[in-house]
Structure 1
Amino acid sequence: MRPIRLDAASYRPFVAPEEVERAADVVRSLHPTLVERRSESAMVGWLDYPSRIGEETLGGVEAIAERVRRDADVFFVVGVGGSSLGARAALEFLGRDAAAPEIRFVGEDLSPTSLVEALEAVRTRRVVLNVVSKSGTTTEPAVAFRLLRETLETAVGPAEARRRIIATTDPSGGALRAMAEAEGWTSFDIPRDVGGRFSVLTPVGLLPMAVAGIDVRRVLAGARALMAAPEGTDPAADDPNRYAMLRHILYLKGYAIELFVGFTPRLSGVGAWLRQLFAESEGKNGRGIFPVTGKYTTDLHSIGQYVQDGRRLLFETFLWLEDEGVDVTVPDRAAADGFDYLRGRSLQWMNEQAMWGTYVAHRNGGVPVGRIVLRDRSPEAFGALVMFFERAVALSGMLLGVNPFDQPGVEAYKANLFALLGRPGYEARGEALQAEIAALLDRR
C-alpha cells in the first residue's frame, strides 16, 4: 500500500460523476505532456530526480552530514522560501535524533530580531552554516549569510570558518557558486532543471534531513513510489492526478480558497511548504486557488465559526496522519470533571473522532472537504507526500492554463526591493518608487 492516498469519495456530493469524467479526459490528454517532460517549461527535473540522483551526490550528503553531526552544536540553514520550507517540513514531520545538533533556520526575513540570537550562537557555540540559494542574490538570505559569515570568521578564524560553511547552489553559475569556488567551501548542486519549491528531495532538503539523523535513502524510496502512475493505470485514476482534477472542478464552481488542515503539529511545516508550492505555482494571470493553512482542532476555536457558517468560497483538504508514532491514554479511574466516559480512551482515537466530527459538520454546512491520508510518520511517507503534491500542483497549473514552474510576481517584489535598497542599476526605478511612496504619505 502506498504511504499516502487520496480519499476521493470524500468530495461527494460536491463533485458529480459526469464532471469527473469530463475532467478526466482533459487529465488524460495533459498527463503525457508532464511525464514525458514536454511542458512549456524545462523545470521538471524533480519528476525523476529521486531515481537519477547519483551515489556520489547521495553519499556526499551523508558523509558531510556525519561530519556536521560530529563538529557542530548548531546547524544553520540560511535560506528563504523553497530553500528552507521543505527542509523545515521534513524536520517537523520526522523529528531529529538525540545525536543531531540543534537545527535553526535563518535568512527568512529582514527583521533584526531574527538575527540577534543567531549571531550570539555563532560567537559562543560550535556552528556550521549551510547557505542555500540558487543564485546567491536573494536579499534575505544573502544579508543574513554575510552577517553570520563575518561573525564566524571573527570567532574561529577564516580558515576554520571555511571548513564550517556549506553552499547549496547552482552547479556552475551565480554569485554563491563563484564564492564557494573562490573560498573552497564544501558545496552541493541544486539541479538546473529543479526550481526552489520543488527542491525538497535534492541536497537542498536532503542535507538538513541527514544532519537530523533521517534516513534520506528511505525518503527517496518513498518518493519513487509516487513518481508516476504504475504502468497501465489510467492517469485520471492515479491519486495525485485525481486530487488535482477534483480541486480544479471545485475551482470552476467558484471555490477559490483551499484550506489545508492538519490534525497534528507534525504537519505544520508541511502546511507552510504547501502554501508556497501552490501559491507560486498557480497564482498567475488572474487565476489560481489561494492556499491557506490551519491546525485542527486548535483552529476550530478561532476560524471554525467562519468555516462552518461564513461565505461559501473555500474548500478544505484534511491531511490525516493515521499513526503519529506516539499515543497517550486517559487514566482509567473516576474523577469529578465530567469526563469519565473517556476513561481508558487514547488521544489518537479522540483526535480521529474530532476529525470525523469536523468533516461531517463542515460538509453538511456546505463546505467541500477532501481527505488525503498518510499512513505513518516514516521517511517513506514524507518522500511520498512531497512527490504527491509536486505532481498534483504541476498538473493543477496545466489545468489552469498557467506555467506552474515560474514565479514572475515574486520578481516584481524583488526588483522594487533592490531599487529601494539602492542596488546599482536600479537607480531610476528607485527614484520613481520614492516619489510614489512620498505621494502616498502626503495623501495620508
Structure 2
Amino acid sequence: MTAGYANDWEVTNDAKLRSWVESANASDSDFPIQNLPFGVFSDSVNASPRVGVAIGDVIVDLGVLAREGLLVQDADLFARSSLNALIETGRTQWRALRVRLSSLLDARNTELRANADVCQRALVGQADACMHRPVDIPGYTDFYSSREHATNVGAMFRDPKNALLPNWLEIPIGYNGRASSVVVSGTPVTRPNGQIKLPDAERPIFGACRKLDLELEMGFIVGASSALGEAIACERAEDHIFGMVLLNDWSARDIQQWEYVPLGPFNSKAFATTISPWIVTLDALEPFRCQQPEQSPQPLPYLRHAGPHAFDVALEVDLRAAGEQQAQTISRTNFRLMYWTMAQQLAHHTSGGCNVRVGDLMGSGTISGETSDACGSLLESTWNGQRPLHLACGQERTFIEDGDELILRGWCQGDGYRVGFGACAGQVLPAKETA
C-alpha cells in the first residue's frame, strides 16, 4: 500500500500528480494523468484497431508497452477491436493497470520517458488517430431519471399539476433500446423516416422526421456480468460498473409521439445513439463523488444505498448550425442532478432476474436542470417548437436541421486539473428517399 493512501489505486487521483507528457498538465486538458481513460483506436501507421489510453493530446498504445515488458498483461489483450476482453479480467486488474500506467507517465519516473524508441512507437497523436466504438455492446437500456426533464415533458404533454406519473418517484423508469445502432462520436447520423400523424390528418403519413432532437445523457458500461435470475444489490451495484461515457440518444419526436403508446418508443429512438470514444473509469471519477438529490418517498428497500452515489460532472451542449464554422453552447447542466443513481438503475434493472453482460450500455436518460438554458433536449428548450432558439449566427432552431452538428462535452473540475470525457459529436445527414 502506498504511504498516505487508503488503497494503492488512490494515488492515481492525487491532484498534485504531473506527467512528463506536457500537454496533460494543461489546466483545460480533458486527459490529465488523473484520468487515463480507455478507448480503441487506429492510425495511418497501423490500421488495426487496438486498445489505448488517452493522456494530454496523445494516446498510449498499450500493446507496445506490453510487448516491451512494461506491463504484466499479455500484449494480445490489447490487440483487440474492443475493450471487452480487458474489462472481463476484473476490477482488480483494471485498477492495477491504471496504477502502473500512472506510474509510467508520472513526471518523476524515467522508466518509459528515457526510452525514446519505445516512446516513439507507443505514443500516437490523438489528431492522427481514428477512434472506434470502445466496446462490443450486447444490450442497451435507456433510463428516464432526471426529475426536471420528466417534469418538463409531463407538463408539456399532460397535466402540468401532475407532470410526473405515479410510478416515477418509485422506480427508475427505463426501456430496452437498440444496441446495434450505437455509434462512436464523429459518425454521421441519417435523419430517420417513419410514420407521422399530423394534427389534423385522419391517418399517418410516412416520411422524414420533422422534429429531430438530441438527448444529453451519460452512460455507464457494465464491467461484471450477472447470472440469469440473479439480482444485483444496490449497495454493490457500482462494483459492476467499469466506467462512463457521454451519450446522445437521438430522438425523432414526431415519430415518437405517434408510436409510443402503449409500449413506449421504438423506431423513434432506434436509428442512432452516439457515445464518446473514451471510457472514464469510476476510479478516476471517485474524487468527484457527491450526494444525490433527496428522494421522497424513501425508495423501497432494494433501491436503498448509504452515502453519496452521484458524480459532479459539468455538461454542455454545443450546436454548430449548418453552413456555419463556429458552434454555440445552447445548454449547461450537471450529472449530479439525476434523481435516480446508476446503482439504483442497475439494481432495479436486475431485480426481476434480468442478467447483464460485460459491455452492456446503460443510458442515464436526458439530463436537464431547472432553467431553460439547462435543458438536455430541444423539445424542452423550445417547448416543442413554440419558443425558437435564436443563435448568434442569425439562424434559429426549433429542432435539428440537416447539416447541423451537435457536440456534447463533460468534465469534472479538480484543483488545477479536470477529468474530461472528450467530445461526443454527430452531424445530421438528410433522410434517405422513400419509394
TM-score, normalised on structure 2? Answer: 0.25
Greater gyration radius: 1
TM-score (norm: length of structure 1): 0.25
Answer 1 or 2: which has greater helix percent. Answer: 1
Q: Going by fraction, where is strand more abundant, 1 or 2?
A: 2
